[in-house]
Amino acid sequence: MIGNVENRKRMEGWGITSPEAEGFHKCIVPGVQDCKAVHIYRLNLNAGSAYTLESGALEMNPVLVKGKAKVSCDAFREGMEALDSFYINGGVAVEIQAEENCIFYIGAATCEGYGKPFFRKFEKDLPLGDVHQIHGHGVGQREVFFTLNPQVEASRLLCGLTWGGNGAWTSWPPHQHENDLEEVYCYFDMDAPHFGFHVSYLKSGQVEDIVTHTVQSGSMILAPAGYHPTVASPGTRNTYFWVLAAFSHSSRRYDLAVLDPVYENT
Protein backbone atom coordinates (compact mmCIF):
# COMPACT_ATOMS: atom_id res chain seq x y z
CA MET A 1 0.00 0.00 0.00
CA ILE A 2 2.81 2.42 0.84
CA GLY A 3 4.38 1.75 -2.54
CA ASN A 4 1.09 2.44 -4.31
CA VAL A 5 0.66 5.73 -2.46
CA GLU A 6 4.19 6.79 -3.40
CA ASN A 7 3.63 5.82 -7.02
CA ARG A 8 0.40 7.80 -7.20
CA LYS A 9 2.09 10.85 -5.68
CA ARG A 10 4.88 10.56 -8.25
CA MET A 11 2.46 10.34 -11.17
CA GLU A 12 0.31 13.19 -9.87
CA GLY A 13 3.41 15.39 -10.17
CA TRP A 14 3.69 14.72 -13.89
CA GLY A 15 0.99 17.23 -14.87
CA ILE A 16 1.55 20.98 -15.17
CA THR A 17 -0.38 23.93 -16.56
CA SER A 18 1.96 25.98 -18.71
CA PRO A 19 2.05 29.78 -18.17
CA GLU A 20 -0.03 32.14 -20.31
CA ALA A 21 1.95 35.28 -19.41
CA GLU A 22 4.08 36.82 -22.12
CA GLY A 23 7.66 35.63 -22.32
CA PHE A 24 9.81 32.51 -22.38
CA HIS A 25 8.89 29.89 -19.78
CA LYS A 26 10.72 26.79 -18.60
CA CYS A 27 7.92 24.26 -18.18
CA ILE A 28 9.66 20.90 -17.80
CA VAL A 29 13.37 20.65 -17.04
CA PRO A 30 15.49 17.69 -15.88
CA GLY A 31 16.35 17.95 -12.21
CA VAL A 32 13.31 20.10 -11.52
CA GLN A 33 10.61 17.76 -12.83
CA ASP A 34 10.72 13.95 -12.77
CA CYS A 35 12.78 13.52 -15.94
CA LYS A 36 16.35 13.05 -17.15
CA ALA A 37 16.37 13.92 -20.85
CA VAL A 38 13.37 15.95 -21.99
CA HIS A 39 13.04 19.75 -21.84
CA ILE A 40 9.82 21.65 -22.63
CA TYR A 41 9.51 25.41 -23.00
CA ARG A 42 6.64 27.74 -23.88
CA LEU A 43 7.14 31.08 -25.60
CA ASN A 44 4.25 33.58 -25.58
CA LEU A 45 4.68 36.71 -27.68
CA ASN A 46 2.25 39.57 -28.14
CA ALA A 47 1.80 40.96 -31.64
CA GLY A 48 4.72 43.23 -32.52
CA SER A 49 7.06 41.66 -29.97
CA ALA A 50 10.38 40.01 -30.82
CA TYR A 51 12.48 37.31 -29.19
CA THR A 52 15.82 35.66 -29.90
CA LEU A 53 15.66 31.92 -29.26
CA GLU A 54 19.11 30.51 -28.51
CA SER A 55 19.61 26.74 -28.37
CA GLY A 56 22.94 26.74 -26.52
CA ALA A 57 23.84 23.15 -25.61
CA LEU A 58 20.42 21.86 -26.66
CA GLU A 59 18.68 20.90 -29.88
CA MET A 60 15.20 22.40 -30.18
CA ASN A 61 12.01 21.72 -32.13
CA PRO A 62 9.59 24.66 -31.71
CA VAL A 63 6.06 24.49 -33.14
CA LEU A 64 3.76 27.49 -33.43
CA VAL A 65 0.43 26.37 -31.99
CA LYS A 66 -1.26 29.77 -32.26
CA GLY A 67 -0.64 32.99 -34.17
CA LYS A 68 1.60 34.18 -36.98
CA ALA A 69 5.27 35.14 -36.97
CA LYS A 70 8.44 35.61 -38.98
CA VAL A 71 11.53 33.59 -38.11
CA SER A 72 15.07 33.92 -39.37
CA CYS A 73 18.53 32.46 -38.83
CA ASP A 74 21.49 31.64 -41.06
CA ALA A 75 19.73 28.52 -42.40
CA PHE A 76 16.23 29.86 -43.14
CA ARG A 77 14.03 32.96 -43.27
CA GLU A 78 10.33 32.13 -43.25
CA GLY A 79 6.84 33.34 -42.51
CA MET A 80 5.34 31.08 -39.88
CA GLU A 81 1.68 30.19 -39.37
CA ALA A 82 -0.07 27.91 -36.89
CA LEU A 83 1.34 24.35 -36.86
CA ASP A 84 4.49 25.28 -38.78
CA SER A 85 7.68 24.24 -37.00
CA PHE A 86 11.45 24.36 -37.21
CA TYR A 87 14.45 22.49 -35.86
CA ILE A 88 17.77 23.88 -34.66
CA ASN A 89 20.78 22.03 -33.35
CA GLY A 90 23.09 23.37 -30.66
CA GLY A 91 24.65 26.82 -30.84
CA VAL A 92 22.00 28.40 -33.10
CA ALA A 93 20.06 31.64 -32.58
CA VAL A 94 16.71 32.31 -34.28
CA GLU A 95 15.10 35.74 -34.45
CA ILE A 96 11.32 35.57 -33.94
CA GLN A 97 9.03 38.49 -34.78
CA ALA A 98 5.38 38.06 -33.77
CA GLU A 99 2.88 39.40 -36.30
CA GLU A 100 -0.05 38.21 -34.17
CA ASN A 101 -0.27 37.00 -30.58
CA CYS A 102 1.76 33.79 -30.64
CA ILE A 103 2.19 30.62 -28.61
CA PHE A 104 5.17 28.39 -29.30
CA TYR A 105 5.66 24.99 -27.69
CA ILE A 106 9.33 23.97 -27.75
CA GLY A 107 10.73 20.48 -27.26
CA ALA A 108 14.43 20.21 -26.48
CA ALA A 109 17.14 17.75 -25.49
CA THR A 110 20.91 17.57 -25.23
CA CYS A 111 22.60 18.13 -28.59
CA GLU A 112 25.26 15.54 -29.37
CA GLY A 113 26.43 17.19 -32.58
CA TYR A 114 23.85 15.70 -34.95
CA GLY A 115 21.33 17.60 -37.02
CA LYS A 116 21.08 20.76 -39.13
CA PRO A 117 18.51 23.57 -38.89
CA PHE A 118 15.42 23.31 -41.10
CA PHE A 119 11.93 24.79 -41.38
CA ARG A 120 8.84 22.61 -41.87
CA LYS A 121 5.60 23.97 -43.28
CA PHE A 122 2.47 22.21 -42.03
CA GLU A 123 0.63 20.61 -44.95
CA LYS A 124 -2.69 19.11 -43.87
CA ASP A 125 -3.11 17.37 -47.23
CA LEU A 126 0.41 15.93 -47.39
CA PRO A 127 0.20 12.33 -48.67
CA LEU A 128 0.76 9.59 -46.10
CA GLY A 129 4.43 8.76 -45.68
CA ASP A 130 7.39 9.61 -43.43
CA VAL A 131 5.81 12.84 -42.10
CA HIS A 132 2.01 12.36 -42.30
CA GLN A 133 0.70 9.09 -40.85
CA ILE A 134 -2.39 7.36 -39.49
CA HIS A 135 -1.86 5.25 -36.37
CA GLY A 136 -4.11 2.82 -34.54
CA HIS A 137 -7.56 1.61 -35.50
CA GLY A 138 -11.19 1.91 -34.40
CA VAL A 139 -11.71 4.24 -31.44
CA GLY A 140 -7.91 4.42 -31.06
CA GLN A 141 -7.20 5.75 -34.55
CA ARG A 142 -5.35 9.07 -34.68
CA GLU A 143 -3.65 11.30 -37.21
CA VAL A 144 0.04 12.16 -36.78
CA PHE A 145 2.16 14.85 -38.40
CA PHE A 146 5.85 14.64 -37.54
CA THR A 147 7.62 17.92 -36.89
CA LEU A 148 10.87 15.97 -36.43
CA ASN A 149 10.70 12.48 -37.90
CA PRO A 150 13.19 9.59 -37.55
CA GLN A 151 14.41 10.00 -41.14
CA VAL A 152 15.77 13.48 -40.32
CA GLU A 153 19.12 13.59 -38.55
CA ALA A 154 19.00 14.86 -34.96
CA SER A 155 20.63 14.01 -31.67
CA ARG A 156 17.89 12.76 -29.32
CA LEU A 157 14.56 14.31 -30.29
CA LEU A 158 11.54 12.90 -32.10
CA CYS A 159 8.48 15.18 -32.17
CA GLY A 160 5.09 15.53 -33.78
CA LEU A 161 1.45 16.57 -33.65
CA THR A 162 -1.42 14.20 -32.94
CA TRP A 163 -5.18 14.54 -33.40
CA GLY A 164 -7.51 11.93 -31.95
CA GLY A 165 -11.08 11.26 -32.99
CA ASN A 166 -14.18 12.89 -31.53
CA GLY A 167 -14.49 11.59 -27.97
CA ALA A 168 -11.96 8.88 -28.78
CA TRP A 169 -8.76 7.38 -27.41
CA THR A 170 -5.24 8.11 -28.56
CA SER A 171 -2.16 6.00 -27.85
CA TRP A 172 -4.33 2.90 -27.51
CA PRO A 173 -3.36 0.17 -26.80
CA PRO A 174 -1.35 1.75 -23.97
CA HIS A 175 2.41 1.79 -24.49
CA GLN A 176 5.59 2.60 -22.60
CA HIS A 177 9.22 3.19 -23.62
CA GLU A 178 10.79 3.91 -20.24
CA ASN A 179 14.10 2.12 -20.92
CA ASP A 180 14.92 4.28 -23.93
CA LEU A 181 12.94 7.53 -24.10
CA GLU A 182 10.91 10.04 -22.10
CA GLU A 183 7.82 11.74 -23.49
CA VAL A 184 5.71 14.82 -22.87
CA TYR A 185 2.25 15.55 -24.31
CA CYS A 186 1.63 19.29 -24.72
CA TYR A 187 -2.07 19.96 -25.37
CA PHE A 188 -3.50 22.79 -27.48
CA ASP A 189 -6.65 23.73 -29.44
CA MET A 190 -8.72 22.35 -26.55
CA ASP A 191 -10.10 25.51 -24.99
CA ALA A 192 -12.99 25.17 -22.50
CA PRO A 193 -15.50 23.64 -22.55
CA HIS A 194 -13.41 21.03 -24.41
CA PHE A 195 -11.33 18.70 -22.27
CA GLY A 196 -9.78 15.26 -22.18
CA PHE A 197 -8.07 12.86 -19.81
CA HIS A 198 -4.42 11.81 -19.80
CA VAL A 199 -4.02 8.45 -18.06
CA SER A 200 -0.85 7.20 -16.35
CA TYR A 201 -0.08 3.85 -14.74
CA LEU A 202 3.25 2.16 -14.09
CA LYS A 203 2.78 -1.60 -14.39
CA SER A 204 1.08 -3.76 -17.00
CA GLY A 205 -2.64 -4.19 -16.28
CA GLN A 206 -2.50 -2.46 -12.90
CA VAL A 207 -5.26 0.01 -13.70
CA GLU A 208 -6.33 0.22 -10.05
CA ASP A 209 -3.31 2.53 -9.59
CA ILE A 210 -4.22 4.85 -12.48
CA VAL A 211 -3.67 8.59 -12.09
CA THR A 212 -5.76 10.73 -14.44
CA HIS A 213 -4.99 14.34 -15.37
CA THR A 214 -7.70 16.50 -16.89
CA VAL A 215 -6.20 18.20 -19.96
CA GLN A 216 -7.11 21.33 -21.91
CA SER A 217 -5.14 23.90 -23.90
CA GLY A 218 -1.90 24.60 -22.02
CA SER A 219 -1.75 21.29 -20.16
CA MET A 220 1.56 19.44 -20.34
CA ILE A 221 1.89 15.89 -19.03
CA LEU A 222 5.20 14.12 -18.51
CA ALA A 223 5.60 10.40 -19.17
CA PRO A 224 9.02 9.33 -17.85
CA ALA A 225 7.80 5.80 -17.03
CA GLY A 226 4.82 3.52 -17.44
CA TYR A 227 1.83 3.60 -19.79
CA HIS A 228 0.07 6.78 -20.94
CA PRO A 229 -3.08 6.52 -23.09
CA THR A 230 -5.40 9.52 -23.46
CA VAL A 231 -9.11 9.97 -24.15
CA ALA A 232 -11.24 12.98 -25.14
CA SER A 233 -14.64 14.06 -23.88
CA PRO A 234 -17.54 13.87 -26.39
CA GLY A 235 -17.29 16.74 -28.86
CA THR A 236 -13.53 17.02 -28.28
CA ARG A 237 -10.50 15.78 -30.19
CA ASN A 238 -7.42 15.36 -28.03
CA THR A 239 -4.84 17.52 -29.77
CA TYR A 240 -1.23 17.67 -28.66
CA PHE A 241 2.40 18.26 -29.53
CA TRP A 242 4.36 15.27 -28.31
CA VAL A 243 8.06 15.29 -27.59
CA LEU A 244 10.17 12.15 -27.26
CA ALA A 245 13.68 12.58 -25.86
CA ALA A 246 15.98 9.58 -26.06
CA PHE A 247 18.51 8.80 -23.37
CA SER A 248 21.17 8.45 -26.09
CA HIS A 249 21.49 9.03 -29.81
CA SER A 250 21.35 5.28 -30.46
CA SER A 251 17.88 5.02 -28.89
CA ARG A 252 16.46 7.87 -30.96
CA ARG A 253 13.98 5.46 -32.53
CA TYR A 254 10.23 5.42 -32.99
CA ASP A 255 9.89 1.63 -32.88
CA LEU A 256 10.83 1.09 -29.22
CA ALA A 257 7.34 1.47 -27.72
CA VAL A 258 6.21 -1.58 -25.73
CA LEU A 259 2.46 -2.24 -25.73
CA ASP A 260 0.77 -3.32 -22.51
CA PRO A 261 0.27 -7.05 -23.20
CA VAL A 262 -3.00 -7.04 -21.25
CA TYR A 263 -4.56 -4.69 -23.83
CA GLU A 264 -2.40 -5.38 -26.87
CA ASN A 265 -5.19 -7.10 -28.81
CA THR A 266 -8.03 -4.76 -27.82
169 φ, ψ (degrees, to nearest 5)? -85, 150
- Over residues 195-235, the pLDDT tens digits come to 999 999 999 999 988 999 999 999 999 999 999 999 999 99
DSSP codes of every residue in 30-53: BTTBS-SS-EEEEEEE-TT-EEEE
The secondary structure of 79-109 as a DSSP string is EEETT-EEEB-TT-EEEEEESS-EEEEEEEE
pLDDT per position as a tens digit, 70-100: 999 999 999 999 999 999 999 999 999 999 9
Bridge partners, 119 (sequence order) = 86
Taking a C-beta distance cutoff of 8 angstroms, is the pair 255, 232 a contact?
no
| Cross-strand pairs, 88 | 60
- The mean pLDDT of the chain is 96
CA atoms within 13 A on the CB side of 150: 11
Per-residue pLDDT tens over the stretch 132-184:
999 999 999 999 999 999 999 999 999 999 999 999 999 899 999 999 999 99
The pLDDT assigned to 4 comes to 84
Residue 3, pLDDT score: 58
How many CA atoms does the CB half-sphere of 155 hold within 13 Å? 22
Alpha carbons 125 and 145: distance in angstroms, whole number: 11
